Amino acid sequence: MDGIIPLYKERGMTSFDCIRRLRNLLKTKKIGHSGTLDPSVDGVLPICVGAATKVVPYLMASGKVYQGELLIGKATETEDLDGAVIETAKVSHAITNTTIQDAMNKLTGQVRQQPPMYSAVKVHGKRLYEYARAGETVERPVRTVQVDSFQLLRTKFDEKTQSQRVTFRVACGKGTYIRTLVVALARQLGFPGTMSSLTRIKSGGFTLEDTLSLDDVQNALASQSLSKLIFPLDAVFSDYPHVVLTTDQWHYMQHGSWFKSSELDTNAETVALVYNNQVKAIYHIDADGQNYKPQTMLRLN
């Protein structure tokens, strides 16, 4: 079986839990996912099966959209509700929508982030959470991530607890830590904060409406209908310029040949080469703008 399953990952499961379950269900080890979700986060987790594992890098590079909640007035060691509280502060009066959105706007575009200690980023061959669990500290790399939009959906001030909750939506590039982003937002507003909820609502072009649960996959296998629900790997390249190959060009492509830009009649940087109604390869133009060269060979038959 080859294709993409836009899986709905439930809270309480790791991304690898999902992979392990699917390997058992589908009787194959050739499965990969396109971006880990923390156990406390639910939402869209595209799963690539068989030959579709070749498109994992493209899915990972595609934009993602999250919706979640920030709790202002409390900080934890993990930047979410899983960790111990390390700081509190009273929010004595409601922070206005305008103030919050203005702070969000300052955290869009290219943003510098330092990954949290409780994360899977590797430093000196060990993941940061391994250092954190051992009570060790280590210098963490600072990275630049892309935040396309950071939007306030609603907010609620709680006078009794003197805290405020902010519901937000973020569209971002790969490697963005939403926990770290919303904690930075709280700091911009002058308070400690922690992410209290998060759902990935879009990834790799797939939305929550496209997703299947693990039970859905199991039931579809039992009724032999999974092939009707799984997406072909071509779906990843629906937004790419498509070039339909002639028979001769197809034969050349099977041998990894380059193509002159004039042969493909396009000026796009990256194109999907199509033959017999299937995306066969992804080609990218060279630095001189003269030749298209193979970037990923997807199907050679």
CA atoms of 7 and 44, how far apart (whole Å) = 6
> Residue 6 CA to chain centroid, in angstroms?
12
DSSP β-ladder status, 242-244 and 270-275 = parallel
Residues with catalytic roles = 38
Per the DSSP assignment, residues forming a β-bridge with 188 are none
What three-state secondary structure class fits 129?
Answer: helix
Nearest Cα neighbor of 88 from 162, 176, 1 is 162
Q: What own/partner pairs with CB < 8 Å and gap ≥ 24 does 291-299 have?
A: 291/258, 291/259, 291/260, 291/261, 292/258, 292/259, 292/260, 292/261, 292/264, 293/258, 294/253, 294/256, 294/258, 295/270, 296/54, 296/55, 296/57, 296/58, 297/256, 298/51, 298/54, 298/55, 298/233, 299/51
Burial 6-20 (b: 16+ CB within 10 A, else e): bbbbbeebebeebbe
Angle subtended by helix axes 15-26 and 214-222, to nearest 10 = 0
What is residue 230's DSSP assignment? S
